[in-house]
Amino acid sequence: MSLREILLSYVSRARTSPVVASDPGELGTLEKAALDNLDLGFATLAAPIAPWTYEVRTLLSGLLPDTNRVAFKFPWMVNVVGMMATLSIVQPRIVAPATPPDPTLNDIDCMIDLNNEAFLTGNDGMTTPAGQGGNNFVTLATLTIQTPRLLGLKIKGESKPEVGFTFRWKQPPTLANPRLYQDTIVSVALFCYPQERRGLGQQTSFGLVGT
């Protein structure tokens, strides 16, 4: 049920029975519906409204299969309404003995977790020569804002919540091919806005709202 329907239903019941207007249960339902509402995060399918931009970045070496977990700790509870992944080739480029190609977002996988507990990504992929099968990594390009899908992720927690990113090559280096791509700086920007009454209450769960 949408926030509009919940509010109109409350008004209708309150008019019939004034006691409903001050009932703690009714007010709690309204408060939860307002806090969980993500309408402020979207203007159109392709334009998230978010005053804050946070970013994680790390080096993904062409000689290594993956990166360490990169953690970002939010200052308080936020709603993440979109992500944008970018790649920057490390300069100077590797040119000898051969020039590896520049990777694209489709050549890199990413795993996202919340407080090292809940995973927001997962796949049932094919096993590669390096033994990587089904796991919590997804193609990095799928995290970038696209139509008709945007992200609606409510980051909750009593303390400052943390999100972790781990990146790896979809086709990892091997002994026969120790470097398949140029060394690359991988970045993911998170577009966020604060939840109302941030820092108050006892919200300890994670909420993911699909759009």
CA gap 184, 89 in Å, rounded? 5
Percent over 90 (pLDDT), the chain: 40
3-class SS of residue 29: helix
**Together in a domain, 142 and 181:** yes
**Together in a domain, 99 and 143:** yes
Task: Report the chain's terminal Cα–Cα distance, integer Å.
Answer: 14
Local mean pLDDT, 10-residue blocks, the chain (211 residues): 82 88 88 80 70 94 96 89 94 92 96 91 69 78 79 76 92 91 94 64 43 37
Domain of 53, in residue numbers: 40-208
**Together in a domain, 132 and 196:** yes
Q: What does the DSSP assignment read for 124-183?
A: -PPPPTT---SBS-EEGGGGS-BTTB---EEE--SS--EEEEEEEESS---SS-S--S--
**Together in a domain, 140 and 177:** yes
pLDDT, tens digit (0-9, with 9 covering 90-100), for 182-208: 999 999 998 888 775 444 343 444 444
**Together in a domain, 103 and 201:** yes
Are 102 and 68 within 8 A, CB to CB?
no
Overall domain count for the chain = 2
